[in-house]
């Protein structure tokens, strides 16, 4: 009797297991249409980077892969312009760079000053709130930068432990000037944290000259690599603060000292920390090699020159940049005012049917602007002129 019922149960389980059909969608091929990515990211992959994605995997502790990680560290020191030993890439997108920086550099009882020129300052403040950290914000109206004098004054008065500035806010297209903020931080014993996710390689940045203590970025913008890694660099001051924390870093995955050891930054025997996303590291190596071949300063200059091409194409078609002061515009991401009586969504949809992506606003700028990213290989005169031509045509075709 017992065996019979057990057999019946077995049959029942078999039936119920095999009765679940596989998802039909997965029996079809994946559809990936060609697309020109002129939104705020990801950008298009360069061929030399795309090629790396079919290379065979190596073990993450194999000597050849360790060598590739070493090359990536040298390339990141080159593009961040830093001698910082703790320079590596966090496994995760740009947000993981932000989280890694903040969970290491802040602890309960600390004061955090956020310069908010758009969504990314709000995001940093939100993360600090989740961590139970006291936040003070200094905000600029959207489309403008915060005056550096105001930031310096806030540092002197509030005496924060950490100051956050986003260099290129992708929700507004503003490039925040950074000069002398680092000096004020040193003077008042604060650490200086900069988000360069949307700006690195597309506008001047020099971590050491600016006295930046921590900077992070991402792979899918100027670098033209797939999303999935967040380059990051910590100064010796930052590492000293982390080593002297009262409480341990609450995250194992984002522990900068563990990650630094895994990436070979501390000169000690490498310990297993996690399994690096091997193929994405190959892609980052290829992206850094492309920048090394062009030269970081040459890449920045090209983005600046092609931003001028974009501005004059917009003018030719009667369109206006959202950021009025040209000196405050981020060269690799331009925001454009949506003209009266035009539906931004219809226009972006029309462009998409022509295989070209541009995006609408983000956060407070939704409905007011389009965002055109000209990152890396997309910072090209002919491509930019085509995009603006198509934008103008799409506006006319969708005007009611
Ligand atoms: N900071 C800035 C300035 C960004 O533009 C972005 C992405 N648009 C991020 C942080 C977050 O990056 P990710 O989407 O790769 O997590």
> Given this model, what pLDDT does residue 225 score?
98
> Given this model, what pLDDT does residue 399 score?
85
Query: Is 12 part of a structural domain of the chain?
Result: no
pLDDT mean over 324-351:
97
Clarify whether residues 253 and 306 are in a common domain. Answer: no
Residue nearest to atom 12 of ligand 1 (CA): 94
Clarify whether residues 221 and 110 are in a common domain. Answer: yes
Clarify whether residues 230 and 120 are in a common domain. Answer: yes
DSSP string of 306-363, one letter each residue: HHHHHHHHHHHTT--BS--SGGGB-TTEEEEEPPTT--HHHHHHHHHHTTEE-EE--G
Residue nearest to atom 2 of ligand 1 (CA): 197
Query: Is 4 part of a structural domain of the chain?
Result: no
Clarify whether residues 181 and 162 are in a common domain. Answer: yes
> Domain boundary at 293, 309, 339, which?
293
pLDDT digits (tens, 9 = 90+) for 131-146: 999 999 999 999 999 9
- For residue 196, the ligand 1 atom closest to its alpha carbon is 3
How many angstroms separate the alpha carbon of residue 12 from the centre of ligand 1? 50
pLDDT mean over 195-224:
98
Q: Which residues line ligand 1 (CB under 6 A)?
A: 40-41, 93-95, 120, 166, 169-170, 195, 197-198, 218, 227
Query: Is 389 part of a structural domain of the chain?
Result: yes
Q: How far apart are CA 324 and CA 126, in angstroms?
A: 28
pLDDT digits (tens, 9 = 90+) for 312-333: 999 999 999 999 999 999 999 9
Q: How far apart are CA 326 and CA 175, in angstroms?
A: 10
Residue 400 pLDDT class (50, 70, 90 cuts):
confident
Query: Is 374 part of a structural domain of the chain?
Result: yes
Would you call 217 helix, strand, or coil by DSSP?
A: coil
DSSP code of 203? B
Clarify whether residues 303 and 263 are in a common domain. Answer: no
- For residue 166, the ligand 1 atom closest to its alpha carbon is 3
Tell me the binding residues for substrate. 371
Clarify whether residues 178 and 55 are in a common domain. Answer: yes
Sign, CA dihedral 300-381-283-333, equals positive
* CATH number assigned to the domain comprising residue 357: 3.90.1150.10
Would you call 200 helix, strand, or coil by DSSP?
A: strand
> Domain boundary at 243, 260, 293, which?
293
Query: Is 30 part of a structural domain of the chain?
Result: no
Query: Is 361 part of a structural domain of the chain?
Result: yes
How many angstroms separate the alpha carbon of residue 94 from the centre of ligand 1? 5
Query: Is 253 part of a structural domain of the chain?
Result: yes
Percent of the chain's residues with pLDDT above 70:
96
Residue nearest to atom 1 of ligand 1 (CA): 197
* CATH number assigned to the domain comprising residue 69: 3.40.640.10
Number of independent structural domains in the chain: 2
How many angstroms separate the alpha carbon of residue 21 from the centre of ligand 1? 38
pLDDT mean over 369-385:
98
> Domain boundary at 276, 293, 310, which?
293
Its domain, for residue 154, covers 47-293
- For residue 169, the ligand 1 atom closest to its alpha carbon is 3
Q: What is the mean pLDDT of the chain?
A: 96
Residue 298 pLDDT > 90: yes
Residue 10 pLDDT class (50, 70, 90 cuts):
low
Buried b (16+ CB within 10 A) or exposed e, 98-135: bbbbbbbbbbeebbbbbbbbbbbbbbbbebbeebebbb
> Given this model, what pLDDT does residue 11 score?
53
Clarify whether residues 308 and 281 are in a common domain. Answer: no
How many angstroms separate the alpha carbon of residue 393 from the centre of ligand 1? 30
Clarify whether residues 202 and 118 are in a common domain. Answer: yes
Residue 9 pLDDT > 80: no
Clarify whether residues 202 and 315 are in a common domain. Answer: no
How many angstroms separate the alpha carbon of residue 274 from the centre of ligand 1? 23
Q: Are strands 359-360 and 369-373 parallel, antiparallel or unpaired?
A: antiparallel
pLDDT digits (tens, 9 = 90+) for 150-203: 999 999 999 999 999 999 999 999 999 999 999 999 999 999 999 999 999 999
Clarify whether residues 272 and 236 are in a common domain. Answer: yes
Phi, psi of 56 (to 5 degrees): -65, 150
pLDDT digits (tens, 9 = 90+) for 19-67: 999 999 999 999 999 999 999 999 999 999 999 999 999 999 999 999 9
- Taking the CA atoms of residue 205, residue 211, residue 123 and residue 112 in that order, the dihedral angle to the nearest 10 degrees is -170
Query: Is 2 part of a structural domain of the chain?
Result: no
Residue nearest to atom 9 of ligand 1 (CA): 94
> Given this model, what pLDDT does residue 13 score?
56
Clarify whether residues 150 and 264 are in a common domain. Answer: yes
Clarify whether residues 174 and 78 are in a common domain. Answer: yes
> Given this model, what pLDDT does residue 8 score?
59
pLDDT digits (tens, 9 = 90+) for 223-282: 999 999 999 999 999 999 999 999 999 999 999 999 999 999 999 999 999 999 999 999
Q: Which of 170, 199, 203 to mutate to test the pocket of ligand 1 (most atoms within 8 A of CB)?
A: 170
């Amino acid at each position: 009797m017992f065996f019979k019922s057990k057999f019946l149960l077995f049959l029942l389980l078999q039936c119920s297991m095999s009765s679940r059909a596989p998802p039909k969608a997965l029996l079809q091929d994946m559809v990936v249409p060609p697309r020109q990515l002129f939104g705020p990211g990801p950008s298009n992959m360069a061929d030399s980077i795309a090629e790396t994605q079919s290379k065979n995997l190596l073990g993450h502790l194999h000597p050849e892969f360790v060598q590739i990680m070493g090359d990536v560290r040298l390339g990141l020191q080159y593009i961040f312009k830093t001698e910082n030993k703790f320079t590596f890439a966090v496994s995760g997108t740009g947000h993981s760079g932000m989280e890694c920086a903040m969970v290491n550099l802040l602890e309960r009882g600390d004061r955090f000053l956020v310069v908010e020129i758009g969504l990314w300052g709000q995001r940093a403040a939100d993360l600090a709130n989740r961590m139970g950290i006291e936040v003070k914000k200094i905000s600029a109206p959207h489309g403008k930068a915060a005056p550096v004098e105001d930031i310096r004054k806030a540092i002197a008065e509030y005496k924060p432990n950490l100051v956050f500035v986003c260099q290129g806010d992708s929700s507004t297209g503003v490039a925040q000037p950074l000069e002398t903020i680092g000096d004020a931080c040193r003077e008042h014993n604060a650490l200086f944290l900069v988000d360069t996710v949307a700006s690195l390689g597309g506008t001047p940045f020099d971590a050491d000259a600016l006295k930046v203590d921590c900077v992070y970025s991402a792979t899918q913008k100027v670098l033209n690599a797939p999303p999935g890694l967040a380059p990051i660099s910590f100064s010796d001051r930052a590492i000293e603060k982390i080593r002297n924390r009262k409480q341990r870093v609450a995250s194992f995955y984002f522990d900068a000292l563990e990650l630094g050891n895994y990436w070979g930054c501390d000169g000690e025997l490498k310990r297993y920390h996690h399994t690096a996303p091997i193929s994405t590291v190959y892609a980052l190596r290829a992206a850094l090699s492309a920048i090394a071949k062009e030269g970081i300063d040459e890449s920045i200059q090209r983005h600046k020159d092609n931003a001028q091409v974009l501005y004059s194409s917009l003018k030719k078609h009667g369109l206006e940049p959202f950021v009025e002061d040209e000196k405050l515009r981020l060269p690799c991401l331009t925001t454009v005012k949506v003209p009266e009586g035009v539906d931004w969504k219809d226009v972006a949809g029309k462009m998409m049917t022509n295989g070209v992506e541009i995006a609408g606003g983000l956060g407070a700028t939704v409905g007011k602007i389009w965002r055109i990213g000209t990152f890396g290989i997309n910072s090209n005169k002919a491509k930019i002129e085509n995009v603006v031509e198509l934008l103008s045509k799409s506006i006319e075709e969708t005007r009611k």
